[in-house]
Every structure is written in structure tokens, then in C-alpha cells.
Structure 1
Amino acid sequence: TVNVELITPIAMEQGLRFAIREGGRTIGAGVVAGVED
């Protein structure tokens, strides 16, 4: 489990797939398990 705080607010919902990229390379990917306010 990873908790992430985003710099810029974006719309996210449970089940959304995402990728984490750095310098044009994918360094991580996953699925949103839950959203906290």
C-alpha cells in the first residue's frame, strides 16, 4: 500500500489505472484502491 499526496489536484476514483513516469520512462503503475479526502 502506498499513500500519495499530489502537487496538483486531479479527479481520481476507485478502480482508476495510473502510471508513474519520470524522464519519459514508466517507473511504476497500479490501480487506485481508495480515495481519502
Structure 2
Amino acid sequence: ITVELIAPIAMSEGLRFAIREGGRTVGAGVVGKILA
């Protein structure tokens, strides 16, 4: 998927991340490719 962050953050390929909404984890994954 392609996402747009609301705030800048340092990321690198292979970084694990979690997507949270309302204090609940709704998704997780690994950064595969940096596009910009």
C-alpha cells in the first residue's frame, strides 16, 4: 500500500511499523520501498 504521513519521520527499508487508531492496533508491516 502507499501511505502519506501527517508528520515527517525518519524511515528506512526493512523498518517494522504499526498502524494504530484510537489506541488499538489496526495494522502492522515492514517498509518495503521508499518512494520519495
TM-score range, shorter chain: over 0.9
Alignment RMSD (CA, Å): 0.5
TM-score (norm 1): 0.90
Matched length: 36
TM-score (norm 2): 0.92
Give the ranges of 4+ consecutive aligned residues of structure 1 lying more than 3 Å apart after TM superposition: none
Identical aligned residues as a percent: 69
| Structure 1 residue ranges without an equivalent (≥5) | none
| Structure 2 residue ranges without an equivalent (≥5) | none
